[in-house]
Copies of this chain bind each other. A is one copy, B any other.
Amino acid sequence: MAAQRLDGRLLAAQLETSMAAAIAAGLAKAGRPPGLAVLRVGDDPASAVYVANKEKACARIGAKSFGSHLPANISQAALELELHELNKNPAVDGILVQLPVPASINDRALLQVLDPNKDADGLHPLNLGRLLRGEVGPRSCTPAGVMALLKQAKLPLEGMRAVVVGRSILVGQPMALMLQQANATVTIAHSRSLNLEGICRDAELLVVAAGKPGLIGANHVSPGAVVVDVGIHRRPEGGLCGDVRFAEVEPLARAITPVPGGVGPMTVTMLLLNTLRMWAQRHALAEPCQGL
């Protein structure tokens, strides 16, 4: 039997519809739409595409986007000033610094200037601490997107043995915390883990965010496991692939995310949802997409 596909494109579209409705419903009371500011520094070509996608998504749901495209040689101080302005701007609910920034910029210091209550990416240390403590706050987008996909598929996480491969701040770490808060028993494996195959085979849920094309194959997956692939890479021969060798793993899995069309589309959606929630909170509106 073929594995269930965890379809991120479909869920993202459904959530966009809900978010558009929440904005339409709240607009009169709030007096303005939610605002997302995306700071782009320098001319990374992939960033240009990502930023454009975020702006288009804002437009689709009726949120306002504030783009700032700053030159690669901008000073740390000037960039921090820009962030301060956005922190103060009452039309802006969420702010995001598109990574990577040029090497001359200290992105950690930059993040500390960002108002944690406008942190659209959920990466400010205070928000990671809130996640750790189970407190309300904007959540890291990619792992929040994975949680939404698992929830949508009604996969019961309670007591499940989950393995997260990769321990980045962007994905692996917050992913592990979110799964744990759903009462899974979570292991984080990483580049220094010994016997990665054996560790992964213990998993009933395997989330792979290693950033290594095709790292995970059939030897890593127990029959019936749920497999979530966060990786996305351009193949030398064209097309995209993930961290999981899909053709090998799919016949074993109970459910699996495709690449593309799995986790990827959910990240922008959760960025919008963080922004919407901060907007709703500022205007004492009901929480949009509650329970996600």
Contact = CB atoms under 8 A, between A and B. Distances in A.
Given A125-B135, A169-B132, A180-B167, A193 B188 contact: no
Nearest to A196: B185
A132 B173 contact: yes
A43 to B, nearest CB: 28
Interface residues of A, number: 30
A202 B193 CA distance: 14
A229 to B, nearest CB: 20
Contact of A129 (B132, B161, B180): B132
Contact of A125 (B130, B169, B192): B130
Interface string A117-149: 000000011111110110100000000000000
Nearest to A187: B187
What secondary structure prevails in chain A residues at the interface with B? Answer: mixed
Interface of A: 108, 124-130, 132-133, 135, 158-159, 161, 167, 169, 173, 180, 183, 185-190, 192-194, 199, 202
A200 to B, nearest CB: 11
Given A127-B129, A128-B128, A183 B173 contact: no
